[in-house]
A and B are shown apart, each in its own frame.
Chain A
Amino acid sequence: MAAATCAALHGAGVVLLDENAVPGGQVYRAAVPGVSGAPGPDARVGDRLRAALLASGAEVRSGQRVWALGGGPLVAPGAAPAPYRVDACTDAATATIEARSLIVCAGAHERIVPFAGWTLPGVMGLAAATILLKSQAVLPGTRTVVAGIGPLLAAVAAGILAKGGRVVGVVDLASRTDWLRQLPTLAERPPLLARGAGWLARIVSAGLPLLSGHRIVRALGADVVDAVEVAPLTGGVTRRLDCDALCVGHGLVPAIEATLLYRAEHVFDRARGGWVPVLDGSQRSTVPLLYAAGDGAGVAGAAAAPLAGEIAALAALADLGLLGTADAEQAIAVRRGARSRPARVGAAMSAMMAPPGDLVDRIPPDCVVCRCEDVTRAEIETAVDVGARDLNQLKHFTRCGMGPCQGRMCGEAAAELLARRVGSREAVGTWTARVPLRPVPMAALLDRFDYADIPIPAPAPI
């Protein structure tokens, strides 16, 4: 939103494409009228960003799923770079937009390290629970276990309690000392610290089991989850918690499909969530006129994201000749300065969300890793035994990553498992990026056509 607003205010022709019905992404999701109740602090920040966007003159196309990207450097060999081409569709129709530059703000999606029973209905992500609480006013369950690691854990537990729901346990991979270690950085942003303290107070006063340094051993149930078993990380007695919902999350992973598709350089940076595009100090990727901002460029938190968006817009304006270089540099410097503290705190939060390394090692052999294709850890390990050394060969050998989620749910765990055998995440690589960026209905692409309209190329020789 911030990038589009900034660019439009400087006179650029801007189109903002967003999948959701109203802009806001995950953190700054708009309240749903008649549903969400009074907007919380994030929704209010989001409302300000939305108002500015509306007033800026940028064209906002909501409910548009970008399924294909082209142009830019993706041209016939030897040809000059073309305008960026973006194909976006609803369920019914698709449209193409061309532009001189492209700013990608694809955000991040949640990482959940597989454990036994994680595929049972009623098990969902912490981000999923957040969406239910913030914009759907629906509780995850009547007796919910909240588990995983990072600030989102407390936010979701407190959020459920605030909506009158029942939390039967908070199962935190981090220990109390882990939290205390991050306190100085969190203290740099008093509102955040206050919010965290508020969450903690609510959880503590509810008197529910708060299990620090514990992991989920398994989720149990036949058709839906009805209990979880938890145990201390350091070993010890397993404890059972009856529940009808389990909300679990292990951090955020930047969504890099768009920048990968354009063959921008990427680097593996665990602290920022994994593979991230290589960017200069002004959000420029290694591909001309392609920029990235927000968590999709490396997890740095919601507060830092709008500033990064503005920096990307200013860099694009300068590169397009719509703003003087000196003016742009000055404006960028101001924002870079303003961004450093929230980015530092965001980085600390990202670090807090990283699960302990051995969580991957604990994945049982018969546990599904690729949910779409039911590929287990044992099958992945066997594929390595018989010669798969990188993610794409693993895909060929097992179908892991070939399902409709396009490797988003299994990619991290699969890559970590491979990296333990092959040596590094860099060696294992990323899934090859291809269109469509999301599954796209044929009906949206086909439109009405006559057979004669189909430009059938010259037939193969006989």
Chain B
Amino acid sequence: MVHPNETAQTRITVNGVTCDVPAGRSVAAALLAVGIRKLRESPRAGGPRGAFCMMGVCQECVVHIDGHLRQACMVPVMPGLSIKLGAGTPAVDTLGAGTLGAGAT
């Protein structure tokens, strides 16, 4: 999924697994280039999520990069970067079943 003439690679780890990704890209683009599209799960419903806007707006690509929560589309890959997917957020239904009260439909 990368331009055919591309050769330069950068070595990073993703969830503990060593991975060579195209150099010079944002983490989001680099992961996409090696076929990693699911980056996390939505906190409330647990749905699979990945990078959506690529420009720092949607917050869907937030992953742990070297231990800090960062937007993958805004961080360039560097050698040795350690990425943990599925930024740990609890998947608890915040509104609960009883929010609406007896009168609600």
Q: What residues make up the interface of A, taking CB atoms closer than 8 Å to B?
A: 19, 21, 26, 32-35, 37, 91, 109-110, 119-125, 127-129, 131-132, 136-142, 163-165, 222-224, 368, 371-374, 379, 382, 385-386, 398-399, 403-405, 408-409, 438-439, 441, 443
Nearest-neighbor residue (CB-CB) of A405 within chain B: B59
Q: Which residues of B lie under 8 Å from residue A379 when comparing CB positions? A: 95
Asked if B51 and A128 make an inter-chain contact with CB atoms under 8 angstroms apart, the answer reads: yes
Residues of A within 8 A of B57 (CB): 109, 405, 408-409
Q: Which residue on chain B has the smallest CB distance to residue A406?
A: B59
A379 to B100, alpha carbons, bound, how many Å?
A: 10
Closest 8 CB pairs of A and B: A121-B50, A128-B54, A374-B44, A136-B29, A121-B37, A404-B59, A374-B45, A121-B38
User: Per-residue CB proximity of B69-92 to A under 8 Å, as 1/0?
Assistant: 110001010000000000000000
From B6, which residue of chain A is reached at the shortest CB distance? Answer: A137
Q: Which of A137, A398, A408 contacts B3 (CB 8 A)?
A: A137
Would you list 28 pairs from A and B whose C-beta atoms are within 8 A, ordered by A residue? A19-B56, A19-B74, A35-B24, A91-B68, A109-B55, A119-B47, A119-B48, A119-B49, A120-B48, A121-B49, A127-B54, A132-B32, A140-B32, A141-B1, A164-B4, A223-B38, A224-B48, A368-B45, A368-B47, A371-B58, A371-B60, A373-B43, A374-B45, A399-B94, A404-B59, A409-B53, A409-B57, A441-B68
Asked if B39 CB lies within 8 Å of chain A CBs, one says: yes
Closest A-chain residue to B39, C-beta based?
A121
Apart from A35-B25, A138-B1: 16 A-B pairs, beta carbons within 8 A: A119-B48, A120-B48, A121-B48, A131-B55, A136-B29, A137-B25, A139-B1, A139-B2, A371-B49, A374-B44, A374-B47, A385-B104, A386-B104, A398-B95, A403-B59, A408-B58
> Which residues of B line the A interface, CB within 8 A?
1-4, 6, 8, 22-26, 29-30, 32-33, 37-39, 42-45, 47-60, 62, 68-70, 74, 76, 94-95, 100, 103-105
Nearest residue (CB) in A for B93 is A374
Complex CA–CA separation, A374 to B42 (angstroms): 7
A373 touches B44 (CB 8 A): yes
Chain A nearest CB, measured from B58 CB (Å)? 5
Asked whether, in the complex, the Cβ of A163 is within 8 Å of the Cβ of B55, the reply is: no
Q: Could you say which residues of chain A place their CB within 8 Å of the CB of B6?
A: 137
Q: From residue B17, how far is it (CB to closest CB) to chain A in Å?
A: 17
A399–B1 Cα gap in the complex (Å)? 37
Contact of A122 with B37 in the complex, beta carbons under 8 Å: yes
Contact check, B54 vs A132: say whether CB atoms are below 8 A apart. Answer: yes
Contacts of B22 in A (CB 8 A): 35, 137-138
Which A residues are CB-close (under 8 A) to B38?
Answer: 121, 223-224
Q: Which of B33, B52, B70, B103 contacts A124 (CB 8 A)?
A: B52
When C-beta atoms are compared, the residue in chain B nearest to A65 turns out to be B56
B55 proximity list for chain A (CB < 8 A):
26, 109, 127-128, 131
